[in-house]
């Protein structure tokens, strides 16, 4: 039986340019709605919301609900680990941040080529197994954005891993870099339960090109665009689908779509293939807004935000350029932020990006689009 998990990676903000300005009033309402709807699994991570994601979970869930009423999944931040001596202090900090005595699910966060400094040099697997044996973790797992071959190696080498968190959605199903379908097959081969992340691909699948939306609406005028994405993942052989709502309304929609996620028939699956082709031909940057790159950037460029504006501009076309262009201009006036043309091509961000985007190259196009073509302003 699949459960809907509440991802806490993109919580509502009071100031959209300050990732720490979490709108707790709204988050509390979201948590209440989620719990009242019969669900109880929350997902956070050490690095979410610029390091205060776990505290947000504590404030809105742990301090408001009895421990036995919810389950928590969090992750060891491989991005910052270079030596074994860091493990105990970070784990202790995470328990403290979350305000719990144990984690129900604990994952190695994004095991991939980008984090190999951590998992190749430090015995992370023994550490999480030890924490499980000590009673601080119920189940150990890993998340990865690696491909199926990479996942197979991990699961072959580490049978102690009990479950995996994978990026699965209809757009990435046959994607050659993400390989959602093949990864799911590998997990099944090793009998590992699968949790799903990015069912809407960072919001892409809620905001598809008009041509794709038309196809969906012609097939079934009563269904929302996002319902297609939810029906796709909710009927796979997985145990949890995490959606990362950014507002009460989005969460309400996610819950409604999940509760009404009847299986797709063959015609509908074929239609999703057409939709994927349309989206792929329109997507400019495959960014899921995870923000892993942002901390790495010495020039304070909010890469995720700029790519979001750029994609919207490309998908919506020039009809909508004023909205995205104004947003870019407003962003450029904020104190202590870098704009696209501030990129010095140091490439520090490259190894952080699970989607393998050539960030400095794309930023050149972003600069051209927003700083030259539209406004004619140069840095």
Name the site residues for ligand SF4 (rule: CB under 6 A).
Answer: 287-293, 296-297, 299, 301, 303-304, 307, 343-349, 352-353, 355, 357, 359-360, 363
Coil vs helix vs strand at 53: helix
Query: Shortest Cβ distance from residue 100 to ligand SF4 (Å)?
Result: 28
Given the complex with ligand SF4, which of 127 and 292 has the nearer CB atom? 292
- The residue with tokens 């959209």 is 16
Give me the helix-helix angle, 180-189 and 148-157, nearest 10°: 20
Given the complex with ligand SF4, which of 140 and 353 has the nearer CB atom? 353
Given the complex with ligand SF4, which of 60 and 167 has the nearer CB atom? 167
| CA-CA-CA-CA dihedral for 307, 311, 314, 317, to nearest 10 | -120
- Which residues have C-beta within 8 Å of that of residue 137, sequence separation ≥ 6? 102, 103, 105, 106, 128, 131
Q: Are 201 and 243 in contact (CB under 8 A)?
A: no
Pairwise CA distance, residues 11 & 27, whole Å: 7
Pairwise CA distance, residues 153 & 180, whole Å: 16
Query: Shortest Cβ distance from residue 329 to ligand SF4 (Å)?
Result: 20
Given the complex with ligand SF4, which of 78 and 137 has the nearer CB atom? 78
Query: Shortest Cβ distance from residue 215 to ligand SF4 (Å)?
Result: 27
Query: Shortest Cβ distance from residue 171 to ligand SF4 (Å)?
Result: 14
Query: Shortest Cβ distance from residue 239 to ligand SF4 (Å)?
Result: 25
Given the complex with ligand SF4, which of 230 and 293 has the nearer CB atom? 293
Given the complex with ligand SF4, which of 32 and 351 has the nearer CB atom? 351
Given the complex with ligand SF4, which of 58 and 109 has the nearer CB atom? 109
- Which residues have C-beta within 8 Å of that of residue 241, sequence separation ≥ 6? 2, 3, 4, 5, 195, 196, 199, 230, 233, 234, 258
Query: Shortest Cβ distance from residue 365 to ligand SF4 (Å)?
Result: 13
Q: Can you say whether the dihedral through the CA atoms of 155, 157, 161, 167 is positive or negative?
A: negative
> Which regions of 25-115 does DSSP assign to beta strands (E)?
41-43, 71-76, 103-108
Given the complex with ligand SF4, which of 248 and 292 has the nearer CB atom? 292
Query: Shortest Cβ distance from residue 146 to ligand SF4 (Å)?
Result: 14
Coil vs helix vs strand at 51: helix
Query: Shortest Cβ distance from residue 177 to ligand SF4 (Å)?
Result: 12
Pairwise CA distance, residues 170 & 216, whole Å: 14
């Amino acid at each position: 039986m699949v459960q809907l998990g509440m991802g806490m990676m993109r919580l509502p903000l009071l100031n959209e340019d300050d990732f720490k300005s979490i709108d707790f009033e709204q988050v509390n309402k979201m948590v209440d709605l989620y719990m009242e709807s019969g669900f109880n699994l929350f997902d956070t991570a050490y690095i979410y919301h610029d390091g205060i994601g776990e505290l947000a979970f504590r404030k809105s869930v742990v301090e408001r609900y009895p421990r036995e009423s919810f389950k928590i999944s969090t992750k060891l931040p491989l991005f910052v680990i270079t030596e074994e001596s860091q493990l105990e202090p970070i784990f202790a900090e995470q328990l403290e941040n979350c305000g719990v005595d144990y984690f129900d699910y604990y994952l190695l966060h994004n095991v991939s080529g980008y984090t190999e400094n951590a998992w190749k040099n430090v015995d992370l697997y023994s550490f999480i197994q030890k924490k499980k044996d000590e009673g601080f973790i119920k189940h150990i797992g890993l998340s990865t954005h690696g491909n199926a071959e990479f996942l197979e190696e991990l699961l072959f080498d580490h049978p102690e891993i009990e479950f995996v968190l994978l990026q699965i959605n209809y757009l990435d199903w046959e994607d050659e870099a993400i390989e959602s379908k093949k990864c799911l097959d590998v997990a099944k081969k090793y009998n590992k339960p699968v949790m799903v992340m990015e069912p809407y691909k960072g919001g892409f699948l809620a905001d598809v090109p008009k041509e794709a939306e038309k196809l969906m609406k012609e097939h079934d005028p009563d269904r929302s665009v996002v319902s297609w994405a939810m029906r796709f993942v909710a009927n796979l052989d997985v145990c949890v689908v995490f959606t990362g709502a950014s507002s009460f309304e989005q969460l309400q929609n996610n819950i409604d779509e999940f509760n009404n996620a009847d299986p797709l028939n063959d015609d509908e699956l074929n239609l999703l293939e057409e939709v994927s082709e349309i989206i792929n031909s329109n997507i400019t940057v495959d960014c899921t807004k995870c923000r892993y790159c942002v901390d790495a950037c010495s020039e304070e460029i909010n890469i995720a935000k700029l790519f979001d504006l750029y994609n919207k501009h490309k998908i919506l076309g020039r009809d909508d350029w004023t909205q995205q262009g104004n947003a870019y201009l407003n962003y450029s006036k904020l104190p202590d932020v870098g704009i696209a043309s501030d990129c010095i091509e140091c490439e520090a961000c490259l190894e952080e990006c699970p989607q393998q985007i050539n960030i400095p190259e794309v930023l050149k196009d972003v600069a051209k689009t927003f700083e030259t073509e539209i406004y004619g302003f140069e840095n």
